[in-house]
Structure 1
Amino acid sequence: MIESWVIADDGTAPVAAGTVREALRERIGRGRLETWLVGSSGRSLVVLTNTERALVMLLADEGDPGEHAVDPEARGASAGFVSANGQYDAYPNADTVPLGEALSIVEHIVRDGTWPPAHTGSLIADR
């Protein structure tokens, strides 16, 4: 069975892999920089962005520290990551990926249920 994903605060309709990028871009355009997607298997996928870079985390279940996509060649840090609760954070660029890449990763996870092959060697398990 293929896992379905729902944007947590946008109702109960599943989001399709072919439309998830646009859904996230619309949310970002409205200033909603944090998005949680919940999978039918109980997994969660979070995207937190500053509109240029994004933190992408996949959690197996509640309480799982998860794993996140990284950009090991990136240097410096970026600010402007605003959580839904108003918390303002900065992250090392190595712990985030460019927004376009983040959207591709999310699309792949929603479609195939796994990290894209190009990223399986570039994940940090926060376990």
Structure 2
Amino acid sequence: MDGTDGTPVPALPGEVRAALRARIAAGRLETWLTGPAGRSLAFVTNTERAMVVLLEHPGDPGEHAVDPSAGPDDESDGFELANGQCDEYPDRDTVPLDRALRIVEHLVTGGSWPADAAWVADR
């Protein structure tokens, strides 16, 4: 796990949720997890919802978790990146925080999206 400030944050699969919650509590709302095969997982939250993006390799547009139950006009803001930029995303392109944490843990431990998670490829 990368602290986005260049400092690696080691996390075993069973520790991912706790590590992300600790980062959120410390005000670090953007986290990148990088695997040994070059896959990356971006996690950005506003503490209520999160954007979860899986990239197969550098330059990959990736795929991201979605919330099909969100209204087409619903948006959330407060997604603060490590560089200070604050983003707003449609709620359909983010998921509630608890669901996001479960998705990230499953991706880290199982290597694939959970069967009950909705996601779209951006490729």
- TM-score of the two chains, using structure 1 as the length reference: 0.89
> What is the distance in 1 between the residues matched to 2:70 and 2:13?
28
> What is the distance in 2 between the residues matched to 1:38 and 1:51?
22
Query: C-alpha displacement at 1:73, in angstroms?
Result: 1.2
The corresponding residue for 1:3 is none
Which residues of structure 1 form unaligned runs of 5+?
Answer: 1-6
The corresponding residue for 2:115 is 117
Number of matched pairs? 118
RMSD across aligned C-alpha pairs, in angstroms?
Answer: 1.0
Q: Give yes or no for the alignment of 1:87 onto 2:85.
A: yes
> 104, 108, 111: which one pairs with 2:102?
104
Of all paired residues, the percent bearing the same amino acid is 58
Q: Give yes or no for the alignment of 1:11 onto 2:8.
A: yes
Structure 1 moving runs of 4+ over 2 Å:
9-13
Which residues of structure 2 form unaligned runs of 5+?
Answer: none
- TM-score of the two chains, using structure 2 as the length reference: 0.92
Note the 1:25-104 alignment, pairs <5 A. 25-75=21-71, 76-104=74-102
Q: What SS does the aligned partner of 2:58 have?
A: coil
> What is the distance in 2 between the residues matched to 1:12 and 1:82?
19
